[in-house]
Amino acid sequence: MTEQKKTRRQMLEEFVAQKPDDAFSRYGLAMECMNSGDPTAADLHFRALLDHHADYIAAYLMYGQLLARESRPAEARQVLSNGIAAAAKKGDQHARSEMEALLTELG
């Protein structure tokens, strides 16, 4: 009898369960949820990630995109504004400019 192959999401969920503070695994899980059509779970994981790792710059852009796609522009603007500040503090001009562009699109 062979064990059923786990999905990418199941593996990431196990990683996060074992090490909830691991930013890379949490980000991967948030992205997997977002890309597989589960925006509610993605929202939860992006929030948890940014609550504990406010310097995880890529999460702000991806979370902002998710919120914009989910017709939540006010929340997207807030996340992007926070991300722009975090990117500026870290000196990440590329991420900052991407988030500024999305913020401009949102109006």
As a whole number, the mean pLDDT across the chain is: 95
Q: Is the pLDDT of residue 98 over 70?
A: yes
Q: Residue 26, SS3?
A: helix
Residue type, 6: K
Q: Is the pLDDT of residue 35 over 90?
A: yes
**Extents of the domains making up the chain:** 8-106
Q: Which of 73, 75, 64 is nearest to 100 (CA)?
A: 64
Please say whether the beta carbons of 82 and 60 come within 8 A: yes
The architecture that CATH gives domain 8-106 is: Alpha Horseshoe (1.25)
What is the tens place of the pLDDT at every residue in 56-73? Answer: 999 999 999 999 999 999
57 burial (CB, 10 Å; 0-12 / 13-18 / 19+) is: buried
Report how far residue 95's alpha carbon sits from residue 84's, in angstroms, rounded to the nearest whole number.
8
